[in-house]
Homo-oligomer: A and B are copies of this chain.
Amino acid sequence: MDRAKKKKLEQRGWTVGDAADFLELSETELRLVEMKLSLSARLRKAREKKRLTQAELADRMGSSQSRVAKMEAGDPSVSLDLLVQGLLATGASKREIASALAGKKTAA
């Protein structure tokens, strides 16, 4: 399955850059990882702009500080769902989330 490959990648900690030697990590998977990284970067910016601590944001979304840290760190154990929930919890709009997902520059 595709999943085995993905897991292999994840064990190397998102070696997104040059997975060339790493079997054909499908183009799709790379794009998905890129999106996640874009969102996690945006999440940190959004949280800092709101001057929230990780613990405060965690509280807002019913999660924990450690998971928020992982979200912002782009940890492979974090789903797209959770990243989006995190951004929503900072008050981001769908449009803002979409823009982050597309990889646009942080406007703030």
Q: Give me the interface of A with B, judged by CB distance under 8 Å.
A: 1-3, 24-25, 27-28, 31-32, 34-35, 60-62, 79-81, 84-85, 88-89, 94-95, 97-99, 101-103
Tell me, rounded to whole Å, the shortest Cβ–Cβ distance linking A82 to chain B: 9
What's the nearest-Cβ distance from chain B to residue A89, in Å?
A: 6
Contact call B81/A25, Cβ cutoff below 8 A: no
What is the predominant secondary structure among interface residues of chain A facing chain B? helix
**How many copies of this chain sit in the oligomeric assembly?**
2
Question: Which residue in B1, B60, B101 is a CB contact (below 8 Å) of A101?
Answer: B101
CB distance from A75 to the nearest CB of B (A): 14
Query: Smallest CB-CB separation from A35: which chain B residue?
Result: B94
Say which residue of B3, B62, B81, B102 sits within 8 Å of A94 (CB atoms). Answer: B102
Q: Which of B32, B62, B84 contacts A35 (CB 8 A)?
A: B84
Given B62, B84, B103, which contacts A80 in the complex, CB threshold below 8 Å?
B84
